[in-house]
Amino acid sequence: GLRLMQPFPRSSSSSFAHPWLPTQGRRLALLTFAAAPCCDGLYDPVHHIASARIYGNIDAYAYYFVDLLVGTPPQRVSVIADTGSGVTAFPCKSCRHCGKHIDPAFDFSGSSTAKWIPCGGGCPATS
């Protein structure tokens, strides 16, 4: 899974600034991910923070989603931005009950860098 992060300060009095902040102290609606963003994303190599454009409408659809490039070679996956969870998932091609999605399911066998991370005590998403 991917861990959602909040790298921007919640306080408007903070002196923390990034080059893409429109005005210092203004709160941004950016969700950041520890993965490669694909659609107009930004990357801060100093702080290792990637950002991605969010799509959707909370009023019309009840969710927002983000496109990510995952694996080698990259495959585009769309994930729902769930701010109430620390884990974000997307369906794999082998899933038989994962519903309908915008993009084709992730083809695990088509990626040279994909690896399964078992659930349980050693899972980095739950620590």
Residue 126 counted as domain residue = no
Residue 21 counted as domain residue = yes
Number of domains in the chain: 1
Domain that includes residue 78, residue range: 1-115
pLDDT above 90 covers a percentage of the chain that reads 8
Residue 121 counted as domain residue = no
Indicate the pLDDT class of residue 5, thresholds 50, 70 and 90.
very low
The model's pTM is: 0.54
Sign of CA dihedral 32, 34, 36, 38: negative
**Sheet architecture: strand order including 49-52:** 4-5, 31-33, 49-52, 42-44
Residue 59 counted as domain residue = yes
Residue 70 counted as domain residue = yes
Residue 122 counted as domain residue = no
Q: What is the pLDDT of residue 68?
A: 85
- CATH number, residue 40: 2.40.70
Q: Average per-residue pLDDT in the chain?
A: 66
Residue 12 counted as domain residue = yes
